[in-house]
Amino acid sequence: MRPQIEFSYGGDASVKRPELNKEISDQEWDDFVYNRKSLRGKHLELWQHISGCRQWIKVERDTATHEIFKTFKADEEVA
């Protein structure tokens, strides 16, 4: 168990960067850069252990209760 202040928030982890080397529409960029679902309840998000090992991780957390369910490696695919 590590204290919250060691971690820094990195936003919604479900957002995917548009694939390069393909035609990318303004709407796709818009969705990647600005538009967010901002779910109430289970939310998959990025955190960095900034005052520790400095690794990025994915965290599944409840945005209404702040309960943390599960953590994943940053490059792990989450179903």
Partner 1 sequence: MQKYSIFNLVKNAFSNHQNWDLAWKDPEPKEEYDVVIIGGGGHGLATAYYLAKEHNITKVAIIEKGWIGGGNVGRNTTIIRSNYMHDENGLFSEFGMDLWRKMSQDLNYNVMFSPRGIINLAHSDAQMNAYARRGNSMRLNGIDAVLLNREEVKEIIPMADFSENVRFPIFGGLMQPSAGTARHDAVAWGYARQADDMGVDIIQNCEVIGFDVSAGKINGIRTSRGNIKAKKVGLCVAGSTNILAEKLNMTLPIETHLLQACVSEPVKPVLDSVVTFGAGHFYISQSDKGEMVMGGDLDGYNSYAQRGNLPTLQHVLTEGIAMMPFLSKLKMLRTWGGIMDMSMDGSPIIDKTHIDGLYLNCGWCYGGFKATPASGWTFAHTIAQDRVHELNAGYSLNRFNTGHLIDEKGLGTKTWIS
| Binding residues for partner 1 (CB under 8 A) | 3-5, 8-12, 26-27, 30-31, 33-40, 43, 45, 61, 63-66
Q: Are 50 and 26 in contact (CB under 8 A)?
A: no
Show Cβ contacts of residue 57 under 8 Å, excluding neighbours closer than 6 positions.
46, 47, 48, 49, 71, 72, 73, 74
> Considering the complex, what minimum distance in angstroms separates the CB of residue 55 from partner 1?
18
Q: Which is nearer to partner 1, 21 or 65 (CB)?
A: 65
Q: Which is nearer to partner 1, 31 or 56 (CB)?
A: 31
Q: Which is nearer to partner 1, 16 or 66 (CB)?
A: 66
Burial class (CB in 10 A: 0-12, 13-18, 19+), 3: exposed
> Considering the complex, what minimum distance in angstroms separates the CB of residue 50 from partner 1?
12
